């Protein structure tokens, strides 16, 4: 099979949940104050600035990321808006980016009945399932009510990768999605173990608007850079650079 030439995976910019969940945990609160579905959580002002910086990086000379031939986005609002804002910024700087394809296989990890629920609230309301979570571990546990574990995510992303290779051979593909998607893409492409994923998690996880890139090498995709955020230097809310 002829493969895509390059795969760049970008996590969405900072979302409201990225701020609200740590704040609730630090304060010992069970609730975050967010009432929307996970799919509808918006970007923060900083997240929008990060998305703008991403677009400027794509349009830079030389570009921080080589412009993609194909863009595929998660359907979640925070991912779609990250790319929309990036594309607007790139166009202002002279680069017209492709219209994104939306693919449900790029959604964040599905948490079933626990969607948008803090860990403290889960421990309080679901003690039996919480004990099961601790016993099975983060990678293999499925939350009740349709939650996913990491093998489930790997299955849908493996299907996505196969389709990308078949439909876009020798093209550069940009994926805008979520931290779980970036981690599992690494697992699939590099054949990583769960111990390897633990080490990635221990480094602080996938940064908002961070860039992870795989290039075609010796007949396969290989990691070229991971979690790069140099394009975000000096970025703050309302000031993309």
Please report whether residue 196 resides in a domain: yes
Torsional sign, CA 31, 34, 38, 44: negative
Please report whether residue 239 resides in a domain: no
Banded pLDDT at 241 (limits 50, 70, 90): very low
* Counted domains in the chain: 1
Task: Say if residues 81 and 71 touch (Cβ distance below 8 Å).
Answer: no
- pLDDT score recorded for residue 1: 76
* Structural domain range at position 12: 6-232
State the CATH number of the domain containing residue 19.
Answer: 3.40.50.1240
- pLDDT score recorded for residue 111: 97
pLDDT tens figures, 191-232: 999 999 999 888 889 999 999 999 999 899 999 999 999 999
- pLDDT score recorded for residue 239: 52
Please report whether residue 150 resides in a domain: yes
Instruction: State how far the Cα of 176 lies from the Cα of 2, in Å rounded to an integer.
Output: 23
Banded pLDDT at 238 (limits 50, 70, 90): low
pLDDT of residue 62 exceeding 90: no
Please report whether residue 111 resides in a domain: yes
Please report whether residue 237 resides in a domain: no
pLDDT tens figures, 124-143: 999 999 999 999 999 999 99
CA distances from 182 to 109, 153, 197, 235 (A): 11, 11, 11, 22
- pLDDT score recorded for residue 64: 84
Residues 6 or more apart whose Cβ sits within 8 Å of residue 164: 4, 7, 70, 72, 173
In the predicted model, what is the mean pLDDT of residues 9-38? Answer: 97
pLDDT of residue 170 exceeding 60: yes
In the predicted model, what is the mean pLDDT of residues 63-86? Answer: 95
pLDDT tens figures, 41-56: 999 999 999 999 999 9
Enter the pTM of the model.
0.95
Please report whether residue 1 resides in a domain: no
pLDDT tens figures, 98-114: 999 999 999 999 999 99
pLDDT of residue 21 exceeding 60: yes
């Amino acid at each position: 099979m002829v493969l895509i030439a390059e795969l760049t995976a970008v996590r969405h910019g900072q979302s409201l949940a990225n701020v609200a969940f740590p704040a609730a945990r630090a304060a010992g609160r069970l609730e975050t104050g967010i009432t929307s579905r996970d799919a509808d959580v918006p970007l923060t002002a900083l997240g929008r600035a990060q998305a703008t910086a991403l677009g400027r990086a794509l349009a830079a000379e030389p570009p921080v990321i080589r412009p993609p031939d194909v863009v595929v986005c998660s359907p979640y609002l925070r991912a779609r808006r990250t790319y929309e804002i990036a594309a607007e910024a790139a166009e202002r700087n002279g680069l017209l980016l492709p219209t994104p394809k939306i693919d449900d296989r790029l959604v964040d990890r599905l948490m079933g009945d626990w969607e948008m629920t803090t860990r403290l609230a889960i421990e309080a309301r679901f003690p039996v399932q919480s004990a099961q979570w601790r016993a099975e571990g983060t990678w293999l546990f499925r939350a009740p009510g349709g939650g996913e574990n990491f093998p489930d995510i790997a299955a849908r992303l493996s299907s996505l990768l196969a389709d990308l290779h078949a439909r876009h051979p020798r093209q550069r593909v940009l994926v805008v999605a979520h931290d779980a998607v970036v981690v599992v893409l690494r697992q699939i492409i590099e054949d990583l173990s769960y111990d390897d994923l633990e080490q990635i998690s221990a480094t602080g996880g996938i940064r908002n608007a961070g860039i992870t890139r795989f290039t075609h090498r010796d007949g396969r995709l290989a990691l070229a850079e991971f979690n790069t955020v140099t394009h975000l230097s000096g970025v703050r809310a309302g000031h993309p650079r």
